[in-house]
A and B are shown apart, each in its own frame.
Chain A
Amino acid sequence: MNNGGKVRYGMVIDLRRCIGCHSCSIACKSENNVPLGVFRSWVKQIEKGRYPRVMRAFLPSLCNNCEKPICVKNCPVNASYQRDDGIVMIDIHRCIGCRYCIASCPYDARYLDPIKHIVQKCFWCYHRIDAGLEPACVDTCIGRARIFGDLNDIESEVSRLIASNAVQVLKPEMDTEPRVFYIQADIDAMETRGGSIWLSI
């Protein structure tokens, strides 16, 4: 029940249910014809602790379609714009491929399409949403870990989950107000840890 106001889409990812199968990643690739080597949605997997006290944590990531997107602010030709329902879109005929938005996104959500040479990202399958379906990753998740809906509707499942659970977002200090909320996300999975490629942390 939305009080006649605007729809604002959001997503909740319940990590109590995620098993790290990467089906969401594959479904996204398949649905959107994402080229090899780049990802619209991916699952980061870490292992922490020492046996016998160990745990595997997963962090499925995608574009957060933030409330205050830096990418929209920084695009020189207004190719990145935000729809009324909150989804940040890219006008594929206007993008010049300067990649400033990729450099500005704190979540690494964007990529340069190696075939079309413009910038692309996850659009929450707007083509499916506009047809009344759910995004491909939400539809496919076998653990029903991804929930999608209208954040302005207080009776939608996303609103109910956010209201009754402790939720986190990625990098709140960036003041982008992301709209993908995680339940029980592990802090060690959320931290970048400097990549750990050359420094043992």
Chain B
Amino acid sequence: MVVDIIYNTPNFIPIGILIPIYFYITGLHAGFYTTSVMATLIGIKEWKPIGKIGAAGAVIILTIAPIFLLIDLGRPLRFWHLFVYLNPTSPITWGTFFLTTYPIIGLVYAWNVFRGNQKAAKIWGLVGFPIAISVHGYTGFILALGKARVLWNTSLNPILFLVSAMVSGLALIILVANIRLRYFTSRSTSQEREGDKRVINTLILYLIIFIIVDLFLIGSDLAVLATHSRDAYYSLLLLIVGPWALWFLGVEIFLGEIIPLAMLSFRKIRLAAWGQNIASILILIGIFVMRIIIVVGGQNVPLH
């Protein structure tokens, strides 16, 4: 049946690029915090620098993140409505709650880490862990509960967001740790530097595991999209052969996950700082593009 659309109103894309940037930043935060808490719980001296980088980074990132939310609002000066008028069924209300309770806990945790109070740091780290994860996890739920958009409305989105958050967070921590090792450890002993190197190499192994899990989740998402519904099939085509194909297959999958995975599977490259840094940068770019594709690309399938 040949059908021509003679007239239709344009497809309006309500959520722009500021929201994916916010999702990306809270994702980095979740990765930083998780790595820092893990380092604190392990408690060995050589993990201390990672604990400090993670804690400080998490606090800095979470101070920057709400700014993007604020400038994205249609009426920024009405942001206080979010604290006064609550809707328990809306994920954005949950997010407001998490974003307000986390900073104090995060600050206390970071303070304890930098002061060296091991026990207090462990307690505050564990107390803050579910809230810090929720600060990013709720964004996955924002998308999953957006029932109208088929690329959003999958139960995989919350866990996919958390796994990509871990991937990007680990990548950035490895990058920062390598920079610190190269330029800021002039006063450390060579033994300490050896210890730092060992820790970074362990983080690389975790990064590889999380990349594989991420690829599996994306693969399952695509596999179900292919058969779920007509709009789902169009979403899949949009990503694979349509206008987003270059960004999705080229940047997110190939450059962002396959190439780093290939690079890090060779022992020589995996242990070399340049290999780790290049892989990390590629991963950071890839995960950023992934957020944009899901949020903006998901709105490219018209609803009417």
How far apart are A22's CB and chain B's nearest CB, in angstroms? 8
Q: Which residue of A lies closest to B12 (CB)?
A: A111
Interface 9-residue window, one of B34-42, B197-205, B272-280, B296-304: B296-304
Nearest residue (CB) in A for B11 is A195
> Judging by beta carbons under 8 Å apart, are A96 and B301 in contact?
no
Q: Are B3 and A76 in contact (CB under 8 A)?
A: no
A78-B85, A198-B243 known; A100-B90 Cβ under 8 A: yes
Please choose the segment from B46-54, B139-147, B216-224, B262-270 that sits at the chain A interface, where 4 or more of its residues have CB less than 8 A away: B139-147
Q: Looking at the assembled complex, report how far the CB atom of A55 sits from the nearest CB atom of chain B, in whole angstroms.
A: 10
Question: Which residue in B3, B14, B299 is a CB contact (below 8 Å) of A201?
Answer: B3
Among B73, B75, B302, B304, find the residue whose CB has the most chain A CB atoms closer than 10 A: B304
Contact A108 B75 (CB under 8 A): no
Closest to A101 in B: B14
- CB-contacts of A92-118 with B (<8 A): 94-100, 102-108, 111-112, 117-118
Q: Which of B73, B149, B301, B304 contacts A98 (CB 8 A)?
A: B73
Instruction: Check A38–B14 contact: CB distance below 8 A.
Output: no
The answer to whether the Cβ of A193 comes within 8 Å of any Cβ in the partner chain is: yes
Known: A46-B5, A104-B147. A94 touches B14 (CB 8 A): no
**Which B-chain residue is minimally distant from A186 (CB atoms)?**
B3
Which residues of B249-304 have CB atoms within 8 Å of chain A's CB atoms?
Answer: 299-304
B85 touches A118 (CB 8 A): no
Whether A49 pairs with B1 at a CB distance below 8 angstroms is: yes
Q: Does A1 contact B (CB under 8 A)?
A: no
For window 35-62 of chain A, which residues contact chain B by CB distance below 8 Å?
A: 38-39, 42-50, 56, 61
Please tell me the size bucket of the interface on B: 35 or more
Q: Is the CB of A94 within 8 A of B85?
A: yes
Q: In whole angstroms, what is the CA distance A42 to B10 when docked?
A: 11
| Cβ contacts under 8 Å, A105 to chain B | 148, 303
**Which 9 pairs of residues, A with B, have the shortest CB-CB distance?**
A97-B74, A194-B234, A76-B92, A117-B74, A106-B148, A102-B14, A99-B14, A45-B7, A195-B302
Whether A46 lies near B6 (C-beta < 8 A) is yes
- Which residues between 67 and 107 of chain B lie within 8 Å of chain A, taking CB atoms? 72-75, 78-79, 81-82, 85-87, 89-93, 96
B304 and A73 within 8 A (CB): no
B interface residues, Cβ below 8 angstroms from A: 1-9, 11-12, 14-15, 72-75, 78-79, 81-82, 85-87, 89-93, 96, 142, 145-149, 152, 229-231, 234, 237-238, 242-243, 299-304
For residue A171, give the distance in angstroms from its CB to the closest CB of chain B.
8
Let me know if B12 and A102 touch, CB within 8 A: yes
Is the CB–CB distance between A108 and B142 below 8 Å? no
Q: How far apart are the CA atoms of A199 and B304 in the complex, in Å? A: 16
B79 and A106 contacting across the interface, CB-CB below 8 Å: no
Which chain B positions have C-beta within 8 A of A49? 1-2
Give A73 to B41 CA distance when docked, in angstroms. 40
- CA A201 – CA B3 in complex, angstroms? 8
Q: Tell me, yes or no, whether A26 is within 8 Å of chain B by CB.
A: no
Cβ-defined partner of B145 (8 Å) among A50, A56, A74, A111 = A74
Q: Contacts A61-B304, A74-B145, A76-B87 given; indicate if A117 touches B11 (C-beta within 8 A).
A: no
Assess whether A112 is in contact with B74, with CB atoms less than 8 Å apart: yes
Please, could you name 11 A-B residue pairs with CB atoms under 8 Å apart, sorted by A? Answer: A74-B145, A78-B86, A96-B74, A103-B15, A103-B299, A104-B145, A105-B148, A108-B11, A112-B12, A118-B74, A191-B230
Q: Contact check: which of B74, B89, B230 meets A74 at CB < 8 Å?
A: B89
The CA of A11 and the CA of B237, in the complex, are separated in Å by 36
Residue A119 CB within 8 A of the other chain: yes
Q: Does A196 contact B (CB under 8 A)?
A: yes
Chain A residues, CB < 8 A from B12: 38, 102, 108, 111-112
A178 CB to nearest B CB, Å: 13
Which residues of chain B are within 8 angstroms of A196 by Cβ–Cβ distance?
5
Q: Does B82 lie within 8 Å of A96, measured CB to CB?
A: yes
Instruction: Indicate which residue in A50, A61, A74, A199 contacts B146 across the interface (CB closer than 8 Å).
Output: A74
Instruction: For the complex formed, measure the closest distance between the CB of B204 and the CB atoms of chain A, giving whole angstroms.
Output: 37
